[in-house]
Amino acid sequence: MPTSIIGKRIPKLDAPDKATGRTTYGHDVRLPGMLHGRILYTRHPHARILNIDTSKAEKLPGVRAVLTAADNPQTKFGYGKDNTAFKGDKIRCLADAVAAVAAIDPDIAAEALSLIEVEYEPLPAIFTIADALAEGAPLIHTERRSNRFHTYRYSHGDPDAGEAESDVIVEASYKLPYVSHACMETSVIVAQFDHRGHLTLWSTTQIPFLLQRDLSEALDIPGSQIRIIQTAIGGAFGRGLDIYPYEPIAALMARKTGKPVRLSFSRHEEFMAAPVRQPAEVLVRAGAKGDGRLTFRDVAADLDVGAYISWGAVTPLVMMETAASLYRVPHVRFSADCVYTNNPTTGAVRGYGNPQSTFFIETIMDQLAEALDMDQVDFRLRNANIPNSETPQGLIITSCGLKECLEAVAAAADRGAESEEWGAEITNYQLPITDYQLPITKPHLKRGIGFASTLNVGGGARIYRSDGCGATVKVDDFGHVTVVTGSTEIGQGSETILAQIVAETLGTHLHDITVINSDTDVKPWDVGVHASRTTFIAGNAAYLAAVDARGQIFETAAAMFGVSADNLIAGGGKIKVKDDENRVMSLSKAVRKRHFREDGQVVIGEGWYDPPTKLVDKDTYKGNISAAYGFGSQMAEVEVDTETGHVRVLRLACANDVGRAINPMAVEGQIEGGAQMGLGYALTEEVLVKDGRVLNPDFLDYRLFTSADMPAIETIIVETDDPGGPFGAKGVGEMGGTPTAAAIANAIYDAIGVRLTQLPMTPERVLAALDKKRGKEQTLAKFDSTLTC
Amino acid sequence: MKPFDHYSPKTLPEALDLLAQMNGRARVNAGGTDLMLKMKAGFLQPEAIINIKRLPELKGVTYDETAGLTMGALTTLRDLTRTAVIRDHYPVLAQAAGLMASEQIRSFATVGGNLCNASPSADLAPPLMVLGGTAVIAHQNGVRELSLDDFFLGPGQSALKPGELLKEIHLPPPTGQTVYLKQSPRAYMDIAVVGVAVRLHQVNGRCREARVVLGAVAPIPLRAREAEAVLEENLVDNGRIAQAAQIAADACTPIDDVRGSAWYRQRMVQVLTRRGLTALAAP
Ligand SMILES: Cc1cc2nc3c(=O)[nH]c(=O)nc-3n(C[C@H](O)[C@H](O)[C@H](O)COP(=O)(O)OP(=O)(O)OC[C@H]3O[C@@H](n4cnc5c(N)ncnc54)[C@H](O)[C@@H]3O)c2cc1C
C-alpha cells in the first residue's frame, strides 16, 4: 500500500521543546506549599534495628514530619511482594529506608536526617551466591526457608543425545556485571492529596496503571483514588517498571503533612538505591556437527538478585529465549538459580536479560565456528532462524530477516575501514593522544572484526495477563485530531510514531495531531512501556481507533456525496470520492456536519489491541510470548593496544529487521542509542559493588560512552513487512545494544587471540588476559620491559 | 550545601586581606569545577567563599624569549589550548589541556585550580613540572617563589599556607621537546589512571637534560629523578629508554582503587614512559 507519512524520516515531534528547555520534567514540578522529602538509608547491609530516635530531628525548625516504620503500613509490595516502604525491624541492603523527613527546604531535610539516631545490631551479611546457599547461612528473608528465591529449568529435545552426536563441543564460563540505567533524570516524584483523600502523583513511572494497583496495596487506599500524571521522562530504560520504596514514602509524607511533597534522588542516591542490571555467572556448553549444524546448548546461570525481588529475578525468561531460540538448536537445556543476598536489588534494564545471554551465546557461536574452521558469517547463516517457523520453545516466527541482517553486516565488513563510506568518519573520531598521535611505529596495535546477532520480542511480550493497550482518536470541528493512548513516551519517540500512524490512517497532516499519553484519569489502560512493545501494540490500538474515527467521518461524508462509504478515500486532510477528482471536501467539514446537527455526534474512535499470544507455561516455560520477533546483526571492528589493553572500536555496523520502518530516522535513533549502551556494557560500564556498597556512585567513575568515544556507526534497516504489525512494523527499542558486547568480544579475539568472558572488557582485563596467554599472571609486580605479542 | 558568605574582591590586596582575616575558614573559588563538587558532596564546608575571578593580578599570559612565560593563575584550560604563544612555545600544555574534561569545563577550569586542588592525577602538574615551572605565591606581605617540584605535599595538600594565593606560574624558555601521555578508559571526560610527562633536551645526539614526571601513581605528582639520571649525558637509544622506563615504573607507589589496580598503573608508567621517550628521541 503506498503511504505518504509512514516510512518518512520525521524528526521527533517533541524534540524541539526538549532541546530548547520548554519541556516540564519531574524535577521541574513545583506546587504551592510543597515540601521536600529526604530518605535516611541504613548504614549496614544486614542488621536488626534496635531503636530509632527521631525526637531531635522533629524539633529542627522547618521540619514538618519525620516518618518511620512505626507509624506506617508494613504491607509488602514489589514484584516479589517482599519489600516495604520503611524497614522497622530488619535491614537487608544499603538501599533500605529507615526514616524520611519532609521539610520546607532540601537542606533542612538533609540536616534533619543527621539528627535521627538509629541503633543497629549488625548481622553477618551475605555478598556471594555461594555464601547465600551455604549450609546454615543466615536467612535474608526469615519467613522463607532458603535464600534461593527460584530455580528456572527449561529444556527441549534431548541435550545428552545432542552432545553425543556433536563433532565439536566448546565450553566457557562468564561473569557479567551490574550496570546502571544511568538516566539523565534521576528518580523523582511529587505526591499530593486533595480534600477527598484522593492521591495525585507526578511520576516518571513506565507502568502507570500497574503502579496504581501496587500503590493501592502499599498505601491501603483504593486504586480508584490514585491518579498518576507522568511528567516528561528523562530516561527510563526499565528503571520505572516496578514500585520502589520512595514512591509510597512520598505519598505517606504527603498524607502526614497535608502538603504536596517532592522526593528527588541525588545522583549518588540514584546509583545506590535505584535497581541495577541483573549480573550473572554462567557456564555454557554447546556443540555442532562437522557440517556446521548446531546440536545442543547447555546453559547454567547463577543470579544474585539482591535483597528484594524486582524484575532482575525474571530475566532468566529472556535469557532462556536467547539460549533456546536464537539460531536453530535441536537440543537445549537451561537452568538459572535466583538467589537473595545483601547486595543491591536488580531490575529490568533495556534488553532485559538479552544483552547478558546474547553475550555468552554469540561468543560461544564464535568458538564453535572456530572449532569447525568455518567462516563466522557462513556458520551463523547455516543455523539462522527462518520466516514462518516455530521454534521448539514455541515461538511462532512470522517475518524474519536474520539472513538479510547477517549478509548486510558481512558486506559492511568487506567494505573495510578505509573505504569511502567509513573513512571520513573514522578519521574524525577523536583520538586519545596516548596511543595514536605519537610518531613511533605501532606494532602494538592489532585490528580485528567480530559478528553477533540477536533475537528479541517485537510484538509485545505477555508477562502479565493482559498485554493490551487502549486508544481513542477524537477529531474536532477544526479538523484537529487528539490521540489519547494508554502508552508512555520515555524518549523512544512513541508520540511521533503514533501520530504518524493516525495521520496516515485518517489521511490528515501530522501537524494536526496531538498525542496525550500522561494521565491515568484520561488515558485508557496499558500494561506499560517495556519489551519494545509500544510501536506494535500501542500502534495497532491507535490504528484501530483511527479506523473507527474514519468510519464515522466517512459515514457522514458518504451521505453528503450520495455515495457509499467504500467509495471514499482520505488524504492530505481531505475526503475524496474515488475516481472522481471533482468531488472533494475537507475532513473538518464532514466532522462539522456530523457535530452540528440535530442528534449530532462527536467523532471519537476507540481501539483496544491485545496481541494473539500466551503467557508461557509456568512449568515448561514454553509458549508464544510475542506476536512478532525482531532480529538484528552487528559487525564490530576494533583496534587493540596490546601494551595498554585499550580497545578502540573503529566502527560498528548494525542491521536490524524492524518489519517496516515507520520512521527510519527514529529507528536509527533507537539503534544508535542502543549501541551506545551496548558499547558501555562491552567496554566501560560497571557498577562496582563491594560488601553491598556501590563504590563508584557518580559519572566520574561510572563511565558511559560519551559522544567523543562513539565509533562510526552504520545503521542498516531490513524490512520484512510483518503481517501483524501496524503497517508491517515490529519493535526495535531494545535490539540496538544487545549484540554489541559479543560482536566486540569476538573482534577482540580476532585481533589478539584472547577470549574475554568478563564484562566490561576494560584495559586492565584485556591486558591481564593477554598476560595469561603469554603465560604470566597479572599480579606480577615485575614485568618485562619489551612486551611483544 | 551549608550556607556560606560570599565575597568578590576586586584587587589582590583586598583578597589577601580577606583571606588573612578568615584565617583558614574561607576557600577561594576560581572556576569552581573542583571546589563546588567537594562542597556539594559535603567534603568541604567553608564558612566563606572568596571569588577570585575578578582579580586582574591573576590574569594574562606574557612571553619573552629570554624570560620565558608567565601566566596568571586564572588562565583557563581553554586559554591553554588557544593562546598562540603557548601553542608555539609550550605545545605540550595545549595538548594536555585538550585531553582534559570537556569544552564546557575547560572554559571554567583554571590552571591555578588544577594545581591548588593538588590531586595526584591533576593533568597539568606533570607537564608544568617537566617544563621547570615555578609557582609565584602571594601573601599579605608580598610574594614568594616555589619550584613546582616542591609545591605538592600530599593528596589535596599543596604548599600554600593559610592566607596565601597562587598568583601566577612562571616557565623558563623552552628547551628540548616535551610530551604528555595520559591513560584513561575514556579518551575524554576522564581522570588519568596514569599520566606521564617527559621532556628531552638533546644536543648532538646526546641527552643534555631529561625530565620525567608521573601522575596518579603516588601521593603527589612524582618526579622520577633516577630515570632522568640514566638518560642525562647519554645516548638515548632503545636500551636506555627501556632502562629509564623500568626505573620510572619502579619509582612509583600506586594504589589499587576503583580507577585501576596498582600493577596496571605501574605497568602503564613503564609503557607510557617508553613511548614518550621513543617519540622524543627519534631524530
Ligand atoms: C566533568 C569534569 C571533568 C574534569 N576532568 C579533568 C581532567 O581531565 N583532568 C584534570 O586534571 N582535572 C579534571 N577535572 C577537575 C578540574 O576541572 C580541574 O582540576 C580544574 O583545573 C580546577 O580548576 P578550577 O578553576 O575549577 O578550580 P576550583 O574548583 O575553583 O578550585 C580548586 C581548589 O583550588 C583552590 N584554588 C583555586 N585557585 C586558587 C588560587 N589561585 N590560589 C589558591 N587556591 C586556589 C580552591 O580553593 C580549591 O580548593 C574535571 C572536573 C570536572 C567537573
Cβ of B212 closer than 6 Å to ligand 1, yes or no, is: no
Report which of A648, A640, A657 is spatially closest to residue A728, judged by C-alpha positions.
Answer: A657
Contact A654, A429 (CB under 8 A): no
Query: For chain A, which residues make up each domain, given as ranges?
Result: 15-22+468-609, 31-123+194-236+240-260, 399-456+626-773
Q: Which of B1, B186, B266 sits opposite A107 (nearest CB)?
A: B1
Instruction: Kindly provide the ipTM of the predicted complex, given to two decimals.
Output: 0.95
Cβ distance of A430 and B263 shorter than 8 Å: no
Q: Fold identical between A15-22+468-609 and A399-456+626-773?
A: yes
Tell whether A684 lies on the interface with B, counting CB pairs under 8 A: yes
Rounded to whole angstroms, the Cα distance separating A32 from A46 reads: 40
Q: What is the pLDDT of residues A665-711, one digit of tens each?
A: 999 999 999 999 999 999 999 999 999 999 999 999 999 999 888 99
Task: Check residue A561 and give its pLDDT.
Answer: 96
R_g of chain B computed on alpha carbons: 19
Tell whether A767 lies on the interface with B, counting CB pairs under 8 A: yes
Testing ligand 1's pocket by substitution, the residue of B37, B108, B117, B193 carrying the most ligand atoms inside 8 A of its CB is B117
In this prediction the pTM is: 0.96
Q: Which of B36, B119, B183, B255 to mutate to test the interface with A (most CBs of A within 10 A)?
A: B183
Region of poorest pLDDT, from A131-135, A338-342, A771-775: A771-775
Distance B221 CA to ligand 1 centre (A): 15
Report which of A440, A769, A613 is spatially closest to residue B238, judged by C-alpha positions.
Answer: A440
Low-confidence ranges of chain B (pLDDT < 50): none
At A303, which helix (H) or strand (E)?
A: strand A294-306
Rounded to whole angstroms, the Cα distance separating B123 from B213 reads: 11
Pair (B21, B94) in one structural domain: no
- Name A653's bridge partners: A635, A714
Burial of A83 (0-12, 13-18, 19+ CB in 10 A): buried
- Judged by DSSP in three states, A217 sits in helix
Q: Give, in order, the Cα–Cα distances in Å from A522 to each of A130, A437, A497, B267.
A: 49, 59, 20, 62
Residues of chain A positioned with their CB less than 8 A from the CB of B240: none
- Does residue B66 lie within any of the structural domains? yes
- Does residue B54 lie within any of the structural domains? no
Rounded to whole angstroms, the Cα distance separating A593 from A573 reads: 16
Pair (B134, B194) in one structural domain: no
> Among B119, B144, B171, which residue terminates a domain?
B171
- Give me the torsion for CA of B198, B202, B207, B211, rounded to 10°: -20
Cβ distance of A683 and B260 shorter than 8 Å: no
Angstroms from B10 CA to nearest CA on chain A? 31
Task: Check residue A788 and give its pLDDT.
Answer: 26
Q: What is the pLDDT of residues A591-618, one digit of tens each?
A: 999 999 999 999 999 999 999 999 999 9
Pair (B152, B256) in one structural domain: no
Report which of A742, A725, A741 is spatially closest to residue A658, judged by C-alpha positions.
Answer: A725
Q: Three cell numbers at A402?
A: 536474520
Pair (B143, B189) in one structural domain: no
- Tally of CB atoms within 10 A around A275: 25
Cβ of B27 closer than 6 Å to ligand 1, yes or no, is: yes
Q: Which residue, judged by its Cα, is nearest atom 27 of ligand 1?
A: B113
Task: Check residue B51 and give its pLDDT.
Answer: 98
Q: Three cell numbers at B265?
A: 598503573
- Judged by DSSP in three states, B55 sits in coil
Q: Give, in order, the Cα–Cα distances in Å from B279 to each of A435, A438, A784, B247, B282.
A: 11, 6, 20, 18, 6
Report which of A350, A323, A355, A349 is spatially closest to residue A336, judged by C-alpha positions.
Answer: A323
Pair (B151, B66) in one structural domain: yes
Contacts of A504 (CB under 8 A, 6+ apart): A3, A4, A5, A6, A727
Contact B69, B170 (CB under 8 A): yes
Q: Three cell numbers at A536?
A: 506494535
Average pLDDT over residues A43-51: 98
Testing ligand 1's pocket by substitution, the residue of B80, B114, B220 carrying the most ligand atoms inside 8 A of its CB is B114
**CB interface of A with B, residues 438-457, below 8 Å:** 438-440
- Does residue B203 lie within any of the structural domains? yes
Cβ distance of A432 and B187 shorter than 8 Å: yes
Residues of chain B positioned with their CB less than 8 A from the CB of A695: 258
Residues of chain B positioned with their CB less than 8 A from the CB of A762: 185
- Name B197's bridge partners: B180, B213
Angstroms from B75 CA to nearest CA on chain A? 23
Percent of chain B whose pLDDT exceeds 90 = 93
Pair (B78, B11) in one structural domain: no
Pair (B144, B79) in one structural domain: yes
Distance B132 CA to ligand 1 centre (A): 21
Residues of chain B positioned with their CB less than 8 A from the CB of A763: 183, 185, 264
Angstroms from B62 CA to nearest CA on chain A? 27
Q: What is the pLDDT of residues A609-664, one digit of tens each?
A: 999 999 999 999 999 999 999 999 999 999 999 999 999 999 999 999 999 999 99
The pLDDT-based confidence of A2 (bands split at 50, 70, 90) is: confident
The pLDDT-based confidence of A778 (bands split at 50, 70, 90) is: low
Task: Check residue A421 and give its pLDDT.
Answer: 60
> Among B106, B141, B171, which residue terminates a domain?
B171
The pLDDT-based confidence of A420 (bands split at 50, 70, 90) is: low
At A155, which helix (H) or strand (E)?
A: strand A148-156
- Does residue B70 lie within any of the structural domains? yes
Tell whether B208 lies on the interface with A, counting CB pairs under 8 A: no
Mode of pairing for the β-strands spanning A331-340 and A148-156: antiparallel
Q: What is the pLDDT of residues A142-201, one digit of tens each?
A: 999 999 999 999 999 999 999 999 999 999 999 999 999 999 999 999 999 999 999 999
- Name A629's bridge partners: A457
- Does residue B234 lie within any of the structural domains? yes
Q: What is the pLDDT of residues B23-44, one digit of tens each?
A: 889 999 999 999 999 998 889 9
Rounded to whole angstroms, the Cα distance separating A76 from A95 reads: 16
Pair (B160, B209) in one structural domain: no
Pair (B111, B215) in one structural domain: no
Cβ distance of B179 and A438 shorter than 8 Å: yes
Average pLDDT over residues A433-448: 74
From the candidate CATH numbers 3.20.20.70, 3.40.190.10, 3.90.1170.50, 3.40.50.1370, the one assigned to the domain spanning A31-123+194-236+240-260: 3.90.1170.50
Rounded to whole angstroms, the Cα distance separating A567 from A555 reads: 11
Cβ of B22 closer than 6 Å to ligand 1, yes or no, is: no
Domain A15-22+468-609 has CATH 3.30.365.10: yes
How many domains is chain B built from? 3
Average pLDDT over residues A703-728: 95
Task: Check residue A433 and give its pLDDT.
Answer: 47
- Does residue B51 lie within any of the structural domains? no
Pair (B82, B134) in one structural domain: yes
- Tally of CB atoms within 10 A around A688: 14
- Tally of CB atoms within 10 A around A206: 23
Rounded to whole angstroms, the Cα distance separating A388 from A629 reads: 11
Cβ of B110 closer than 6 Å to ligand 1, yes or no, is: yes
Task: Judge if the upstream peptide bond of residue A760 is cis by omega within 30 degrees of 0.
Answer: yes
Average pLDDT over chain A, rounded to whole? 94
Q: What is the DSSP letter of A315?
A: T
Task: Check residue A429 and give its pLDDT.
Answer: 43
Pair (B64, B42) in one structural domain: no
Cβ distance of B242 and A786 shorter than 8 Å: yes
Angstroms from B12 CA to nearest CA on chain A? 33
Q: What is the pLDDT of residues A456-515, one digit of tens each?
A: 999 999 999 999 999 999 999 999 999 999 999 999 999 999 999 999 999 999 999 999
Alpha helices, DSSP H, located in A473-605? 494-506, 539-561, 587-595
Tell whether B65 lies on the interface with A, counting CB pairs under 8 A: no
Distance B1 CA to ligand 1 centre (A): 19
Side by side, the strands of the sheet bearing A148-156 are A148-156, A331-340, A294-306, A280-288, A168-176
If you count residue pairs, one on A and one on B, with CB atoms under 8 Å apart, how many are there?
A: 91
Pair (B272, B250) in one structural domain: yes
Q: What is the pLDDT of residues A210-233, one digit of tens each?
A: 999 999 999 999 999 999 999 999
Domain spanning A399-456+626-773 has what CATH number? 3.30.365.10
Distance B113 CA to ligand 1 centre (A): 4
pLDDT above 80 for A1? no
Contact A438, A734 (CB under 8 A): no
Contacts of B207 (CB under 8 A, 6+ apart): B200, B201, B231, B232, B233, B234, B235, B236
Region of poorest pLDDT, from A94-98, A111-115, A438-442: A438-442
Alpha helices, DSSP H, located in A135-223? 159-164, 208-219
> Among B153, B171, B189, which residue terminates a domain?
B171
Residues of chain B positioned with their CB less than 8 A from the CB of A780: 263
Distance A128 CA to ligand 1 centre (A): 39
Task: Check residue A422 and give its pLDDT.
Answer: 60
> Which atom of ligand 1 is least distant from the CA of B28?
47
Tell whether A701 lies on the interface with B, counting CB pairs under 8 A: yes
- Give me the torsion for CA of A663, A667, A668, A674, rounded to 10°: 160
Alpha helices, DSSP H, located in A627-723? 664-679
Cβ of B227 closer than 6 Å to ligand 1, yes or no, is: no
Contact B276, B241 (CB under 8 A): no
Rounded to whole angstroms, the Cα distance separating B86 from B101 reads: 19
- Judged by DSSP in three states, B233 sits in coil
Residues of chain B positioned with their CB less than 8 A from the CB of A697: none
A536 versus A79: the higher-pLDDT residue is: A536
Tell whether B189 lies on the interface with A, counting CB pairs under 8 A: yes
Task: Check residue B187 and give its pLDDT.
Answer: 81
Cβ of B184 closer than 6 Å to ligand 1, yes or no, is: no
R_g of chain A computed on alpha carbons: 28
> Which atom of ligand 1 is least distant from the CA of B58?
41
Rounded to whole angstroms, the Cα distance separating B35 from A702 reads: 21
Q: Three cell numbers at A761?
A: 572488557
Report which of A460, A404, A401, A393 is spatially closest to residue A724, judged by C-alpha positions.
Answer: A460
The residue range of the domain holding B26 is 5-46
Task: Check residue A685 and give its pLDDT.
Answer: 98
Mode of pairing for the β-strands spanning A513-516 and B194-203: unpaired
Closest chain B residue to the Cα of A763, Cα to Cα: B185
